[in-house]
Amino acid sequence: MDVGGRGRSYVIVGNGIAGVTAAETLRAEDGAASITIIAGDTHPVYYRPALKDFLGGRLGGEKLWARSHSFYHDLRVRYIADQVVAIDGRLHVVWLASGRQVGFDRLLLANGALANTLACPGMHLAGVTTLRSVSDYQKVLDYLGSVRHVVVVGSGTLALESVETLRGRGLQVTHLVRHQTLWSEVLDATASDLVLQQEEHDEVDVLPGQEVAEIVGKDGRVSGVITRQGLHISCELVLIAIGIQPVIDFIARSGIACGRGVRVDASMRTSMPDVFAAGDVVETHNPLTGRARPLGQWYPAIQQARAAAYSMLDMLDTSSTAGTGINYLNATFLYGLDFASIGLTNIVGHPYHALIAEPQPRRYQKVLLRNGIPVGWLSLGDRAPALAFKRAIDHGVNLLPVAPVLFEQRFRLDDWLDTQGVPPPVLNVSKVGEGRYG
């Protein structure tokens, strides 16, 4: 749909971090392009990683916004407050709930995900909420004045952050974990136990192997939780932190291949020509394991958006792996413990082999090898070696020659990689002709 030198028309569905990052990248590279963002929220993205600080009272709501109110004007982006209900790949148009249609040359699906909820009675009660949006967190803050005991459901980083923050505010917290370990996609049993010990030391009532059967209430307000195992836990607030569900209904109906999320290749292209996807709506596939899942993480969403934008511009450096989601560095805190992980970290059996550092108090580190080649690294208590291990993973360096000394204090993996002529870690998606290191 290019018309007489007017430039390409790019349409972006969604204005979260993936949508706005893509818009910024497109505008930086194509000053003449028509860029349209279609979303229901007139304010661009809020800084999701800071929501825990908002909940903890350490950050005011005005500090949450990651882009200014003048974002659309400054970037010369047309904003349409509407909802996409269908995509016509043949005509290159999207249909909106209002009945309008908007044409595009290239389309980016960055419409995100919703928080998963429990399929049990009582979800309608006041005092029961998911943790996804600013309004969710504001709702929790509004409740806190009348709350003494909170039940947090979930085993990932969001649940752990919420438990720690609420304990920091002096509330009694019960943490329900569906399985026997925390965050089983990333943490092995040893790492999980280390985090659980931190929770228990902070007097959190951690209950592994428990699932919610019913949330009960009085006068329309939550008063407790009953588990499938028969426990009755009195509480005034229930927080659900059990992952996300990509919003793919209109996408799948339009004929674009989807699983749990939109399926894309390493260039963030969908199965429909000229349609791309990035961020929480995407299902990330790992070819080593065959596993596919939504990531729901801030930094990968930014990198996927950059990869998608460069693909839409026909400028993506396809030698970079940063758009695929395999080697993302995930760094955070897990109940006060410095944490970082890269790639695969919790898989056992041939052809995978784990090298584990000598255990230390509040510290745990391991690297996962596949025929000597590192495919993942995990550390609790010290994230300093993260970039060195990412460097080795990104470039497929055989670590067997240094396996006996790999975790010794005197050994410096970065220095050894220098002697092997290994390039720096891949940290950014890049365009053709642009460096992707550093």
Q: How many domains does the chain have?
A: 3
Stretch 412-432: mean pLDDT? 94
pLDDT value of position 2: 36
Q: Is residue 437 part of a domain?
A: no
Assign 272 to helix, strand or coil: coil
Question: Is the pLDDT at 1 greater than 60, yes or no?
Answer: no
Give the whole-angstrom CA distance, residue 133 versus residue 188.
30
291 and 397 fall within a common domain = no
222 and 184 fall within a common domain = yes
Higher pLDDT, 422 or 291: 422
Residue 183 CA to its chain's centroid (Å): 13
Give the whole-angstrom CA distance, residue 31 versus residue 26.
8
Question: Residue 183 CB: number of other CB atoms within 10 A?
Answer: 23
pLDDT value of position 42: 82
Q: Is residue 431 part of a domain?
A: no
pLDDT value of position 290: 81
Structure tokens at 254: 């339009």
Domain that holds residue 44: 9-114+245-312
Residue type, 326: I
Residue 427: pLDDT band by 50, 70, 90 thresholds?
confident
Tally the C-alpha atoms within 13 A of residue 213's C-alpha that lie toward its C-beta: 10
135 and 231 fall within a common domain = yes
334 and 361 fall within a common domain = yes
Assign 41 to helix, strand or coil: coil
Residue 320: pLDDT band by 50, 70, 90 thresholds?
low
Give the whole-angstrom CA distance, residue 320 versus residue 412.
26
Q: Which residues 6+ apart lie within 8 Å of 230 measured at CB?
A: none
Question: Is the pLDDT at 5 greater than 50, yes or no?
Answer: no
Question: Is the pLDDT at 59 greater than 80, yes or no?
Answer: yes
Residue 41: pLDDT band by 50, 70, 90 thresholds?
confident
Residue type, 29: E
Q: Is residue 206 part of a domain?
A: yes
**With contact defined as beta carbons under 8 Å apart, do 430 and 437 qualify?**
no
CATH no. for residue 382? 3.30.390.30
pLDDT value of position 437: 62
Residue 192: pLDDT band by 50, 70, 90 thresholds?
very high
Give the whole-angstrom CA distance, residue 307 versus residue 304.
5
Alpha helices in 238-362 (DSSP H): 249-253, 298-312
Last residue of a domain, one of 262, 278, 312: 312
Digit-coded pLDDT (tens) for 374-390: 999 999 999 999 999 99
Last residue of a domain, one of 242, 262, 292: 242
Give the whole-angstrom CA distance, residue 201 versus residue 199.
5
Digit-coded pLDDT (tens) for 282-317: 998 887 788 888 999 999 999 999 999 999 999 999
Label residues 321-360 b or e (16+ Cβ within 10 Å = b): bbbbbbbbbbebebbebbbbbbbbbbbeeeebeebebeee
97 and 68 fall within a common domain = yes
26 and 84 fall within a common domain = yes
**Max Cα distance, the chain (Å):** 70
pLDDT value of position 321: 59
pLDDT value of position 170: 97
Digit-coded pLDDT (tens) for 239-291: 999 999 999 999 999 999 999 999 999 999 999 999 999 999 999 888 778 88
Give the whole-angstrom CA distance, residue 67 versus residue 272.
31
Stretch 174-189: mean pLDDT? 95
Q: Is residue 429 part of a domain?
A: no
**With contact defined as beta carbons under 8 Å apart, do 343 and 326 qualify?**
yes
Question: Residue 400 CB: number of other CB atoms within 10 A?
Answer: 13
Structure letter (DSSP) for residue 277 = E
Q: Is residue 84 part of a domain?
A: yes
In the chain, what percentage of residues exceed pLDDT 90?
86
Q: Is residue 426 part of a domain?
A: no
134 and 29 fall within a common domain = no
38 and 78 fall within a common domain = yes
Give the whole-angstrom CA distance, residue 151 versus residue 112.
27
287 and 337 fall within a common domain = no
Element (H, E) at 229: none
Residue type, 51: L
- The per-residue pLDDT of the chain, averaged, comes to 94
**With contact defined as beta carbons under 8 Å apart, do 49 and 143 qualify?**
no
Q: Is residue 323 part of a domain?
A: no
**For residue 351, cis peptide bond before it (omega within 30 degrees of 0):** yes
Give the whole-angstrom CA distance, residue 422 versus residue 407.
19
Give the whole-angstrom CA distance, residue 52 versus residue 163.
10
Question: Residue 168 CB: number of other CB atoms within 10 A?
Answer: 14
375 and 304 fall within a common domain = no
Stretch 128-141: mean pLDDT? 95
Give the whole-angstrom CA distance, residue 291 versus residue 279.
17
Question: Is the pLDDT at 80 greater than 60, yes or no?
Answer: yes
Reported pTM: 0.94
Q: Is residue 322 part of a domain?
A: no
CATH no. for residue 285? 3.50.50.60
Element (H, E) at 200: helix 189-201
Q: By CB neighbour count within 10 A (0-12 exposed, 13-18 middle, 19+ buried), where does 372 fall?
A: middle
35 and 88 fall within a common domain = yes
Edge to edge, the sheet with strand 364-370 lists: 329-334, 337-343, 373-380, 364-370, 352-356
213 and 108 fall within a common domain = no
Give the whole-angstrom CA distance, residue 129 versus residue 241.
9
Last residue of a domain, one of 184, 208, 242: 242
pLDDT value of position 6: 61
